[in-house]
């Protein structure tokens, strides 16, 4: 049977774009359909604009630090509107870069909504397309909890469209999204209350890392309420009245409520049933080759039940194309995928947390850690501390996890993702000679 394309990709985020371009390199015909903007959540409503906000917020404290280094002080005002224009221009530039990359690769781009008609046929706008293989890379979307007045709460997507910064904001959710926006908005001078229904923030990370970030945020003026959640949100003339329950029952009046309680796969309207594709717990179930229960339909990225990270989606897209069209199978190792929290203080991890390591390896696990003040802060009035922690299998000396809180944590920790899968040992770190003075050299001096 002949098809319009060898491959149709639904979703033009990092994973879908990587898969489409890599597949085209193997000489197959490829089309990619996207109902929104090129780049997906990462470029338009996630990683890129968020990191630009992180940079912008950091200048408030950096300008204060500059005085300690001899620079003349002076009152400086932050112009939110001017920043938003610059941020959005960069997002648009990246969209154009992706458009040009698709054209150069020979990938047909269809800017419209797609849904299945049958296992090999997809309706895209007012036309139908057939494909031998179909890749779902539709990403995820924010999800709100069910509570009274939740319709008044914004999601992380909505924050990028704020016309003005709020004076007071309440954030529900202590995961990395809630923590990052709490840090960003506090940096802009907002009054921030962050609440989490669990006993600590960043519950998926190492406990010492989470505690260090918690301490750093509180020092910077973020109010954190754990074992506390929102019971109701109601509009009032001053903004919104937020009723809290749990360990800290009280009422707050704020300008904005942010629900940062997680994300779910964006599967609405795909008509997966018409293709016979099974979804497990609202995510698309796939095997090691990203194949669904239908042998010619694949899925990658945030719409699956795997790690929801941009670099993972990109790697899955390339691995899919290599396996399906390059005829050399690529299987990803998810054990040593680094992750970061773009807060102030910044945090990053690769490998196992102490709790996970002890659960798997037991008493042979030994941890090494240190807390120190980076040289940069020695002239400032900031009591900023950095944390470095190693989780080690003492029986083999193998490093199971690396965790860091402090400036440049993400840049430092991700470099170890190269050596850990091939057996990085504590002895190897001890024997390494670092650069002085630097924060990274602390990894080589842990006792």
User: How many C-beta atoms lie closer than 10 Å to residue 307's C-beta?
Assistant: 16
| Torsion of Cα atoms, 245 then 247 then 249 then 255, to 10° | -80
CA separation, residue 40 to residues 138, 147, 262, 279, 401 (Å): 8, 29, 17, 21, 31
Taking phi first (over 0 means left), then psi (-120 to 50 degrees means alpha), and beta for anything else, what does residue 199 get?
Answer: alpha
Is 39 in contact with 12 (CB distance < 8 Å)? yes
Grouping H, G, I as helix, E, B as strand and the rest as coil, residue 286 is: coil
176-187 vs 207-219: helix axis angle to the nearest 10? Answer: 20
Give whole-number Cα distances, 4 to 29, 117, 420, in Å: 8, 15, 44
Catalytic residue among 214, 403, 408, 436: 436
436 is annotated as an active-site residue: yes
What value, to the nearest 5°, has the Cα angle with vertex 186 and ends 220 and 157? 140
Q: Order the strands of the 228-236 sheet from edge to edge.
A: 228-236, 239-246, 251-254
**From the CB of residue 305, how many other CB atoms can be counted at a distance below 10 Å?**
15
Q: How far is CA 264 from CA 138, 142, 145, in A?
A: 11, 6, 12
Residues designated catalytic: 436
């Amino acid at each position: 049977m002949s098809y319009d394309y060898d491959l149709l990709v639904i979703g033009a985020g990092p994973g879908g774009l990587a898969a489409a371009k890599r597949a085209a390199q193997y000489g197959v015909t490829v089309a990619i359909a996207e109902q929104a903007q090129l780049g997906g959540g990462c470029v338009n409503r996630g990683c890129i604009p968020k990191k630009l906000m992180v940079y912008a917020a950091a200048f408030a404290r950096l300008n204060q630090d500059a005085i300690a280094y001899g620079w003349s002080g002076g009152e400086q005002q932050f112009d939110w509107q001017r920043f938003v224009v610059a941020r959005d221009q960069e997002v648009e530039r990246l969209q154009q870069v992706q458009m040009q990359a698709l054209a150069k690769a020979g990938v047909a781009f269809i800017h419209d909504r797609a849904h299945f008609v049958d296992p090999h046929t997809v309706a895209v706008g007012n036309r139908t397309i057939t494909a031998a293989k179909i890749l779902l890379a539709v990403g995820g979307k924010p999800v709100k909890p069910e509570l009274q007045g939740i319709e008044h709460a914004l999601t992380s997507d909505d924050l990028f469209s704020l016309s003005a910064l709020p004076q007071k904001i309440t954030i529900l959710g202590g995961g990395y999204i809630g923590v990052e926006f709490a840090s960003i908005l506090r940096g802009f001078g907002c009054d921030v209350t962050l609440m989490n229904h669990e006993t600590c923030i960043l519950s998926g990370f190492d406990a010492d890392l989470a505690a260090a970030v918690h301490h750093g945020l509180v020092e910077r003026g973020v109010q954190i309420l754990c074992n506390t959640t929102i019971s109701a949100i109601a509009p009032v003339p001053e903004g919104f009245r937020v009723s809290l329950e749990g360990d800290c029952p009280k009422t707050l009046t704020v300008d904005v409520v942010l629900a940062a309680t997680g994300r779910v796969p964006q599967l609405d309207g795909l008509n997966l049933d018409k293709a016979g594709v099974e979804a497990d717990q609202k995510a698309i179930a796939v095997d090691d080759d990203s194949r669904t229960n239908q042998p010619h339909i694949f899925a990658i990225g945030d719409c699956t039940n795997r790690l929801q990270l941009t670099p993972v989606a990109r790697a899955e897209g390339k691995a899919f194309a290599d396996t399906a069209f390059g005829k050399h199978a690529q299987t990803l190792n998810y054990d040593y995928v680094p992750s970061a929290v773009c807060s102030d203080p910044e945090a990053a991890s690769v490998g196992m947390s102490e709790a996970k390591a002890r659960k798997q390896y037991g008493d042979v696990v030994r941890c090494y850690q240190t807390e120190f003040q980076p040289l940069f802060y020695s002239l400032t009035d900031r009591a900023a501390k950095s944390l470095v922690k190693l989780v080690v299998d003492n029986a083999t000396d193998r490093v199971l996890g690396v965790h860091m809180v402090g400036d440049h944590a993400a840049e430092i920790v991700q470099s170890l993702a190269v050596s850990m899968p091939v057996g990085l040992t504590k002895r190897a770190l001890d024997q390494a000679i670092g650069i002085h003075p630097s924060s990274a050299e602390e990894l080589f001096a842990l006792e």
